[in-house]
Amino acid sequence: MANYIMAMDYLNWEIPKFDLIFSKKKSSNYCLVIPVINEGDRLKKFLEKLKKNEIEKILNILIIDGGSTDQSTKPSYLKKMNVTALLIKKGPGKLSAQLRCAYAFAIQKGYKGIITIDGNNKDDSGALPSFIKTLDQGYDFIQASRFIKGGQHKHTPLLRYFAIRFIHAPLLSFFSGFRWTDTTQGFRGYSIKLLQDPRLAIFRDLFKEYELLAYLSYRAPKLNFKCIELPTRRVYPKHEVPTKISFFVGNFRMIYTLYRVCFNKFNP
**Ordered per-residue pLDDT tens for the chain, 268 residues:** 444 554 555 578 999 999 999 999 999 999 999 999 999 999 999 999 999 999 999 999 999 999 999 999 999 999 999 999 999 999 999 999 999 999 999 999 999 999 999 999 999 999 999 999 999 999 999 999 999 999 999 999 888 899 999 999 999 999 999 999 999 999 999 999 999 999 999 999 999 999 999 999 999 999 999 999 999 999 998 866 555 555 556 667 888 999 999 999 999 9
The pairing of strands 85-89 and 18-23 is: antiparallel
Domain extents for the chain? 2-262
Cα 145–Cα 53–Cα 226 angle in degrees, nearest 5: 35
- Beta-carbon contacts of 55 under 8 Å, excluding residues fewer than 6 positions away, are 32, 61, 82, 125, 128
Instruction: Please give the DSSP secondary-structure letter assigned to residue 177.
Output: S
- Residue 9 is predicted with a pLDDT of 56
The pairing of strands 113-116 and 85-89 is: unpaired
- Residue 3 is predicted with a pLDDT of 45
Instruction: Please give the DSSP secondary-structure letter assigned to residue 153.
Output: E
SS3 29: coil
Return d(Cα 66, Cα 102) in angstroms, integer: 11
In this structure, the number of other CB atoms found within 10 A of the CB of residue 25 comes to 7
- Beta-carbon contacts of 14 under 8 Å, excluding residues fewer than 6 positions away, are 100, 203, 204, 205
State the pTM of this model: 0.93
Instruction: Decide yes or no: CATH 3.90.550.10 for domain 2-262.
Output: yes
> CB–CB of 89/61 below 8 Å?
no
- Residue 243 is predicted with a pLDDT of 56
- Residue 249 is predicted with a pLDDT of 60
- Residue 1 is predicted with a pLDDT of 45
Return d(Cα 27, Cα 38) in angstroms, integer: 28
Q: Which of 121, 94, 78, 81 is CA-nearest to residue 234?
A: 121
**pLDDT tens digit string along 27-66?**
999 999 999 999 999 999 999 999 999 999 999 999 999 9
